[in-house]
C-alpha cells in the first residue's frame, strides 16, 4: 500500500543522479547567463581552478558539456590512434565500457577481467604490460559503480609506471570527491569525473585533467575528433571560455558546490563518505544481508546481495520505489535481479542512510524475508555514534 501522491516524496539513493541541494537548485533555476560575458568567465575560471584543487593537480581541469562517457571518449580520441594497444581493467559494467569504446575506435584491447565485486590485481596489470610492451594506456575505473568495488588505483599506477610508459587513465566518475585520489602525487595521467555524482548536480557536465605526460602524448597523431578536442579547448582556455557552448546553469551550480567543497576541505569530505559507507555496510549486514564487494568496497555505493534463495530481487527495488518513492539501483547484467545498490556519494548524511536502511528493513519484512525491524538501523546508528569523533 503506497502513500497517496499527496504525501509522496522522491528519495534518490542511486549512484547518480544524486540529490541536489535546494539552494543550488534555486541558483541554477535563475535565467542562464550568457557565456561570453565577463561574469560567466569569472565563474568558469573559478570552477576550473577549484576543480584542479579537487583533482589535486597543478594541471588544467576541463569542463565539458557531456556526461561521463563523453570524457571517457575524450580520453581515447585525444590520446590514442587507431591500432594502438591498451590494457583495460574490466571488473564490471564500466570497465567493459572502456573496452567497447577502445574497440569502436580501432584500438587493440588487452582486457584483464576481474570477478564482479573484486578489486583489480596490480600484479596482473604488470604481467599484461610485460607481455605487451607497446601498450599505450591502461584504462581503468577507481570505483566500479556496477559492483561497488574500489580498485587499488595508487598501487596500479605505481606498478604501471615502474613497468612501462603506458598512461594511467582513471575513470573516477564515482570516486572523485569521495575518496582520496591525488592525481599528481599518484602519477595519474588522466582523471575524469561527472557532475551527477559527488558534485551534487544534475547530469550534463564532465570534468577531466591530464598530466604533463598525457599532454605530451596528445602531440602524436590521434583519432580524428572535434567536439571532444582538447586542442580546441586549449585555444580559448586562458580567455576563460570553452570551445563550444558551455552548460552555463550547471556550471553556476558547480561553482556553488565547489566553493562549499573547498570550504569543507578534502579530509572532511573523504571522512564523511567513508563513514556513510561503513555505516551502511554495518546496517545491511546486521539485517542478515551480504555485500558483493567485501574486500575492497567503494565509499560511493554499496552493493547488497539478495537474501539466500531469493531470485526476484526486482521486488525489493520496486517496493522501495512504489511504497517509499525511493530509488536504489538494480544489479546490472548477470547481477540484474540479484542485488541492489545503495549510493552514499554527494548530498547525503547519516540520517539519510538510516532512512534508507529503515525502508529496506520494512521492505524485506513486507516480502516475507525474516528481519527484525530496527536491527539494521540500530547497528548503523551505533557505528555512526562510535565513529563520530573521526569526522
Residues of the shown chain interacting with its own copies in the complex, contacts defined by CB under 8 A: 1, 3-11, 22, 26, 29, 257, 260-261, 263-264, 268-269, 272, 324, 326, 347-352, 354-355, 358-359, 361-362, 365-366, 372-375, 377-379, 381-382, 384-385, 388-389, 391
Of 82 and 264, the one with the shorter C-beta distance to its own copies is 264
Q: How far apart are CA 64 and CA 207, in angstroms?
A: 6
SS3 170: strand
Q: How far apart are CA 225 and CA 179, in angstroms?
A: 32
Q: Cβ 2 to its own copies, closest distance in Å?
A: 9
Q: How far apart are CA 93 and CA 144, in angstroms?
A: 8
Q: Cβ 315 to its own copies, closest distance in Å?
A: 16
Q: Cβ 191 to its own copies, closest distance in Å?
A: 21
Of 325 and 337, the one with the shorter C-beta distance to its own copies is 325
Gyration radius of the chain's alpha carbons = 21
Of 244 and 347, the one with the shorter C-beta distance to its own copies is 347
DSSP state of 164: -
Q: Cβ distance 105 to 223 under 8 Å?
A: yes
Of 185 and 385, the one with the shorter C-beta distance to its own copies is 385
Locate 265 and state its grid cell.
576541505
Q: How far apart are CA 173 and CA 170, in angstroms?
A: 9
Q: Cβ 325 to its own copies, closest distance in Å?
A: 8
Q: How far apart are CA 300 and CA 281, in angstroms?
A: 12
Q: Cβ 374 to its own copies, closest distance in Å?
A: 2
Beta strands in 172-250 (DSSP E): 190-194, 206-210
Of 245 and 389, the one with the shorter C-beta distance to its own copies is 389
Q: Which residue has the cell 570551445?
A: 243
Q: Cβ 21 to its own copies, closest distance in Å?
A: 8
Give the angle 193-66-97 at the CA atoms, nearest 5°.
Answer: 65
Of 97 and 275, the one with the shorter C-beta distance to its own copies is 275
Q: Which residue has the cell 569569472?
A: 42
Give the angle 282-20-228 at the CA atoms, nearest 5°.
Answer: 105
Of 223 and 345, the one with the shorter C-beta distance to its own copies is 345
Q: Cβ 348 to its own copies, closest distance in Å?
A: 7
Amino acid at each position: 500500500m503506497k502513500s497517496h501522491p499527496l504525501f509522496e516524496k522522491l528519495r534518490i539513493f542511486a549512484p547518480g543522479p544524486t540529490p541536489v541541494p535546494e539552494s543550488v537548485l534555486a541558483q541554477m533555476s535563475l535565467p542562464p547567463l550568457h557565456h561570453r560575458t565577463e561574469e560567466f568567465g569569472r565563474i568558469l575560471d573559478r570552477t576550473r581552478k577549484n576543480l584542479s584543487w579537487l583533482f589535486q593537480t597543478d594541471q588544467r581541469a576541463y569542463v565539458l558539456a557531456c556526461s561521463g562517457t563523453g570524457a571517457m571518449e575524450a580520453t581515447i580520441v585525444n590520446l590514442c590512434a587507431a591500432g594502438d594497444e591498451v590494457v583495460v581493467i574490466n571488473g564490471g559494467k564500466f570497465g567493459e565500457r572502456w573496452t567497447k569504446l577502445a574497440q569502436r575506435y580501432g584500438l587493440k584491447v588487452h582486457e584483464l577481467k576481474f570477478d564482479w565485486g573484486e578489486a583489480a590485481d596490480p600484479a596482473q596489470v604488470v604481467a599484461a604490460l610485460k607481455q605487451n610492451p607497446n601498450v599505450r594506456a591502461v584504462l581503468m575505473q577507481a570505483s566500479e559503480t556496477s559492483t561497488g568495488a574500489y580498485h587499488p588505483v595508487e598501487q596500479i599506477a605505481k606498478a604501471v609506471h615502474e613497468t612501462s610508459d603506458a598512461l594511467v587513465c582513471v575513470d573516477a566518475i564515482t570516486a572523485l570527491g569521495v575518496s582520496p585520489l591525488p592525481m599528481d602525487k599518484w602519477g595519474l595521467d588522466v582523471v575524469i569525473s561527472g557532475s551527477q555524482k559527488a558534485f551534487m548536480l544534475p547530469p550534463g557536465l564532465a570534468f577531466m585533467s591530464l598530466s604533463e605526460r598525457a599532454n605530451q602524448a596528445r602531440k602524436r597523431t590521434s583519432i580524428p575528433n572535434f567536439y571532444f578536442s582538447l586542442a580546441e579547448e586549449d585555444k580559448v582556455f586562458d580567455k576563460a571560455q570553452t570551445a563550444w557552448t558551455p552548460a552555463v546553469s550547471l556550471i553556476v551550480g558547480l561553482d556553488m558546490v565547489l566553493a562549499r567543497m573547498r570550504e569543507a576541505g578534502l579530509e572532511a569530505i573523504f571522512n564523511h563518505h567513508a563513514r556513510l559507507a561503513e555505516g551502511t555496510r554495518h546496517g545491511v549486514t546486521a539485517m542478515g544481508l551480504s555485500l558483493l564487494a567485501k574486500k575492497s568496497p567503494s565509499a560511493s555505493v554499496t552493493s547488497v546481495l539478495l537474501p539466500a534463495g531469493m531470485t526476484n530481487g526486482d521486488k525489493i527495488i520496486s517496493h522501495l520505489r512504489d511504497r517509499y518513492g525511493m530509488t536504489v539501483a538494480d544489479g546490472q547484467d548477470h547481477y540484474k535481479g540479484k542485488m541492489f545498490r545503495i549510493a552514499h556519494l554527494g548530498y547525503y548524511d547519516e540520517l539519510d542512510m538510516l532512512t534508507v536502511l529503515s525502508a529496506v528493513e520494512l521492505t524485506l519484512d513486507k516480502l516475507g524475508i525474516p528481519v527484525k525491524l530496527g536491527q539494521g538501523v540500530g547497528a548503523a546508528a551505533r557505528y555512526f555514534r562510535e565513529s563520530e569523533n573521526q569526522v
